[in-house]
Amino acid sequence: MSTPAIEATDSESVATTLRARRLGLTAAGNDLIAVMRHDCPVCRSEGLASRAQVSLRAGDHEVVVSLLHSSGDTPAPGEIGLSETAWHRLAVRDGDLVEIAHAQPLASLSDVRRRVYGNRLVEEAFSAIIGDIAERRYSDVHLSAFVTACSAVPLDRNEMVGLTKAMVDVGERLSWPGAVIVDKHSVGGLPGNRTTPIIVSIMAAEGLIMPKTSSRAITSPAGTADTMEVLAPVDLDVAAIRRVVEREGGCIAWGGGVKLSPADDVIIGVERVLDIDAVGQMVASVLSKKIAAGATHLVIDIPVGPTAKVRSADAADTLSTALTSVAEAFGLHTRVMCGPGAEPIGRGIGPALEAEDILAVLQGEPGAEDLAYRACELAGGLFELAGATPAGGGFARALESLESGRAWTKFQRICEAQGGMRAPPVARFQQDMIAPHSGRLVSIDNRKLATVAKLAGAPMAKAAGVMLHNRLHHMVEAGAPLCTIHAESPGELDYAAAFAVSDGAIFGITAE
C-alpha cells in the first residue's frame, strides 16, 4: 500500500460558526444541550457526528454541551439549537453567531482515571479536577466516575484536605469584621431535624454573628435552603447577605446563590442521582463551604441511629475524626455533637411541613418539643465553643433566648431583611397511613420515610412530604393515622403511597 500525496487542509477549511436558536429545553439532570442537524456542513467538515460533546463559544463565554443530532425541522441548516442553560451561559440572542469546536481532551481526566483504578491523588490533581468540574466541563459519566471512585476507595486525610482546598479555591470567599463568626452544620440523614433557622435566630438574637449559608437537599426530602425558602427568599447574592448580616447579625441563605463552592454544587447533583453521600466528599463539601463563608467556630450535628445516615458510634467516630482533623488544617475551630437519630426530629418532613415545625418552636407552641430541645443543645454548644458562655452554660442561654421570644423576633426580622416573610403552602392532595393494629411504636425506618417524602415530590414540590402523628415508644390505636402523605399532584401521591404500602414496614408496632 502506498502513501498518497498529502492534501492541504487549509484550503478546505470551512466556517465553524452557526446561528444560535433558543429551543426552550430544560431537564432535571444535565441540561447543557445543543442540537444540530445531521446534514449540517459544519458537522460534516468537523467530523462531529460521532462526538457526544462539543465546545461552544460566543464572545467571552464558552461551554461544553452534550450534542444531539436532528434529522427533523428544528434547528434549520446553519443553526445550532440551545437548551435554556446553554443559552444563558453563552449569553446569546436568537441569530447570534456561535463558534463550534471539538471539546478539548481534558488533562484532568487522566487523574480521574488514576483514581478509578484505585490510586491516590495529590493536591494539584484535585485542583485541576475541581477547576474543570466548576467550569462544567465534565459529562455526567465523568462526574459519576469521580464521585464513585472517591467513595469506593475512601479519601484519606491528605486527599480530603486537597479536595477541600481545591473546592475553596474555585469559589467566592467571604470575610467578616470580628474575630468570631459562628456556623453550624448537620450531616443530615435524619428526616426533619431542621434546627438551623432556630439556631441562627438564637445566636443573632444574643449578639453573635452567624452568616449562615445552607444547601438544598442532596439525598434527603429537604435541605435547610429548601425549607427556609417557603418562609422567605434565600437566593441572595453576596451583597444581599452582607446587608442582612450587617443589619441583623445573621442570615439563612442558599449557599448556591453565592457560589461559595460551585464545584460542590455540580458534584451534589450527581450524588443526588446516585443517592450516595460518602465521608470524604461530605467532609470537603461541608468544610469548603464553611471556610469560604468565613466561619471561625463551627458546631457539627451528627444524628446517630439505625436508619440515619450515620448508623453506629464507630461510624460517627470516623466521620467526626475526619471533620475535626481536616478543619484543623484550615484553622477552623470545630466541635462535633452527636445526637439521637432513631426517629425524625420534629413532626414534618418536606420543606413546608418542616417550616411549620420551625414556626411552632419559635412561637412557643406545642408539638415539636424535641426540635426545640435539639436546637438549644446545638446553639448551647456553639455559645460555649465561641466563648460566649462558660462550659455548661450554653443550653440555658439558648433556651432563655427562645422562651423570651427574642429568637422569634429576630427570625421575623431576618426574614424581612431577606425579602419578606411568607406562609408555607399547604398540599392539595393528602393521604393517611393507618396503623394496622394497636400496640407500641418501637421503630421508624427513617430512610424509607424519606423515600416516601421524596416520591411524593419533596423537595421540588414544596408542600409535599410526610407529617408524623406519633413518636417512638408511644402507644397507637388500630385504625389511627400514623402519618399523612402530602403531595401537590395525584400522580405523586399515588406513587408515594404505593411505595409506602409495598416496601415493608416503615413503622414497627408491637403486637397487641
Spatial distance between the Cα atoms of 205 and 403, rounded to a whole number of angstroms = 12
277 is catalytic: yes
Q: Length of the chain in residues, anyone?
A: 512
Does position 108 bind a copy of itself by CB under 8 A? no
Measured from the CB atom, the residue of 325 and 430 that comes closer to a copy of itself is 430
Q: Which residues, in sequence order, are bridge partners of residue 440? A: 475
C-beta of 22 vs 333, nearer to a copy of itself: 22
> Given candidates 29, 95, 331, 504, which one binds a copy of itself under the rule CB under 8 A?
29
Q: By CB under 8 A, is residue 442 in contact with a copy of itself?
A: no
57 near a copy of itself (CB under 8 A): no
Which residue, 385, 381, 406, is CA-closest to 394?
381
Query: Does 462 help bind a copy of itself (rule: CB under 8 A)?
Result: no
Q: Does 67 bind a copy of itself (CB under 8 A)?
A: yes
Q: Does 451 bind a copy of itself (CB under 8 A)?
A: yes
Is 275 a binding residue for a copy of itself by CB under 8 A? The answer is yes
Q: Which is nearer to a copy of itself, 52 or 396 (CB)?
A: 52
Query: Does residue 177 touch a copy of itself according to CB under 8 A?
Result: no
Q: From the list 58, 65, 129, 147, which residue makes contact with a copy of itself (rule: CB under 8 A)?
A: 147
- By beta-carbon proximity to a copy of itself, the closer residue of 387 and 490 is 490
Q: Identify the sign of the CA torsion 37, 38, 39, 40.
A: positive
Please state the closest distance from residue 270 (CB atom) to a copy of itself, in A: 6
With a CB cutoff of 8 Å and minimum separation 6, the contacts of 285 are 167, 215, 261, 264, 267, 268
Of the candidates 252, 259, 273, the residue with the CA atom closest to the CA atom of residue 194: 252
Of 195-203, 309-317, 324-332, 453-461, the segment contacting a copy of itself by CB under 8 A is 453-461
Show the cell assigned to 36. 444540530
- Locus of grid cell 430512610: 447
Q: Does 126 participate in binding a copy of itself (rule CB under 8 A)?
A: no
Q: What is the DSSP letter of 192?
A: B
Site for a copy of itself in 83-102 (CB under 8 A): 83, 102
Among 187, 286, 461, 466, binds a copy of itself (CB under 8 A): 461
Using alpha carbons, select from 267, 256, 276 the residue that is nearest to residue 140: 267
Q: Where are the beta strands (DSSP E) in 279-376?
A: 297-304, 333-340, 348-349
Instruction: Single out the segment in contact with a copy of itself by CB under 8 A; choices: 51-59, 197-205, 258-266, 295-303.
Output: 51-59
Active-site residue (options: 277, 301, 357, 370): 277
> Which residues in the 300-359 window bind a copy of itself by CB under 8 A?
347, 356
The 3-state secondary structure of 106-138 reads CCCHHHHHHHHCCCCCCHHHHHHHHHHHHCCCC
In 40-128, which ranges are E strands? 53-58, 61-70, 79-82, 97-102
Alpha-carbon Rg for the chain, nearest whole angstrom, is 25
Which residues, 6+ apart, have CB-to-CB distance to 293 below 8 Å? 174, 181, 183, 211, 213, 255, 260
Among the listed residues 17, 19, 51, 315, the single contact to a copy of itself using CB under 8 A: 51
Among 47, 177, 207, 504, binds a copy of itself (CB under 8 A): 47
The reply on whether position 156 binds a copy of itself by CB under 8 A is: no
Q: Which stretch binds a copy of itself (CB under 8 A): 111-119, 170-178, 189-197, 285-293?
A: 111-119
What's the rounded Cα separation, in Å, for the pair 200 and 187? 17
Task: Specify the DSSP class assigned to residue 425.
Answer: P
Q: Interface residues for a copy of itself in 465-504 (CB under 8 A)?
A: 467, 469, 481, 484, 487-495, 499
Catalytic residue positions? 277
